[in-house]
Amino acid sequence: MVALVTGGSGFIGRHLVAALLERGEAVRVLDVEPSEALPRGAEFIRGSVTDGVAVGAAMHGVRRVYHLAANANLWVPDRGVFEAVNHGGTRTVLAAAGKAGVERIVVTSTEGVLIGKRSPRRPFRVDETAELTIGDMIGAYCRAKYRAEKAALVAARDGMPVVVVNPTLPVGPGDRRLTPPTRMILDLANGTIPAYLDCYLNFIDVRDAAAGHILAAEKGRIGARYILGGENLRMRDFIAVMAEVTGASVPHWRVPYWLAVAAATVDEARSTYVTKAPPKAPLAGVRLAGRPALVDNTRARTELGLPSRPIRDSLRDALAWLVWNGLVERPLPNLAVA
């Protein structure tokens, strides 16, 4: 029997594919991206989760489905992409999996659906019991992921074997698309961030996030959701870890929230109406950061046995990969790359 990974060419997806192959499982990947970077041994089908025919064909002989495919950017020129891919694609996958009679479906959501416009501006604890509305969501990306998660949980209540996982910010080696956390690390490594917004972030090693998906398929309760998270860090503490790991200079100026929102508003408007290029700091990302959530991963640790590597190790591996691939433009004295 086959494990299907939608979005298997993505950051978490590739690590998940590698972990499944190491377990001796047959793995099929459905993705719109080329397959060159996939681990050897995975079957690749090029196609979109918005294409019902392609999704249906990919389900043939599948025992478990890991649905990771999504547009993970917080800004795109056409916001309809979020709804079509992140929400509509999830419904397409659920429908096809139901027809195929698969054993288990793990749907990848995001921590962003646990944080809303009405969340406190002071540090607050958040776990899987958070109940927000679509009106609480911050930005088009989170709205689409919220709808996708709700569709998955409704499917579970209707009898489908669905488990939802909510990864926090994945960090580690091999992020070829430079997702927002890796882009932030790269910008800090290159010294191109002059100041920072003092917020709280939760990081998980990408390899632990991949393991969490497998654990959710094996041990997760149908209809439950699990936060795949690691360490909660205040931004200034994360920057201190960066300085320790790299030995390079880091920003010391702190930007007030109101100024970060104003700058992001202008930057995003310029991207939307002029350049069509991604903004440096998407407005939704700034607004999410302004709600300092302290993520509680107790459920995933106790029920699934979620592993958690130290952020220093994850950060060191991420930076070593960035250096090895020629993306870091200045010396990092404390980082030795073989």
Pairing of strands 200-205, 231-234: antiparallel
Average model confidence (pLDDT) across the chain? 95
* 290-75-201 Cα angle (round to 5): 35
Single out the residue of 179, 163, 177 nearest to residue 212, CA to CA.
163
- Range of weakest confidence among 75-79, 105-109, 206-210, 295-299: 75-79
Average of per-residue pLDDT across 11-34: 96
Domain map of the chain by residue range? 2-172+204-231+293-309
**For the residues of 226-265, what is the DSSP string, one character each?**
EEE--EEEEHHHHHHHHHHHH-S----EEE-HHHHHHHHH
Q: State pLDDT tens for residues 170-195.
A: 999 999 999 989 999 999 999 999 99
**Cα–Cα dist 155/259, whole Å:** 42
Cα distance between residue 91 and residue 129, in whole Å: 23
**pLDDT beyond 90 at 306:** yes
> How large is the average pLDDT for residues 275-279?
89
DSSP state of 114: G
What Cα–Cα distance (Å) separates residue 20 from each residue in 16, 83, 103, 260? 6, 29, 16, 41
The average pLDDT across 302-326 equals 97
Query: Among 3.30.930.10, 3.40.50.720, 2.40.50.140, 3.30.70.3420, what is the CATH number of 2-172+204-231+293-309?
Result: 3.40.50.720
Tens of pLDDT along 214-223?
Answer: 999 999 999 9
Contacts of 38 (CB under 8 A, 6+ apart): 8, 9, 14, 17, 29, 44
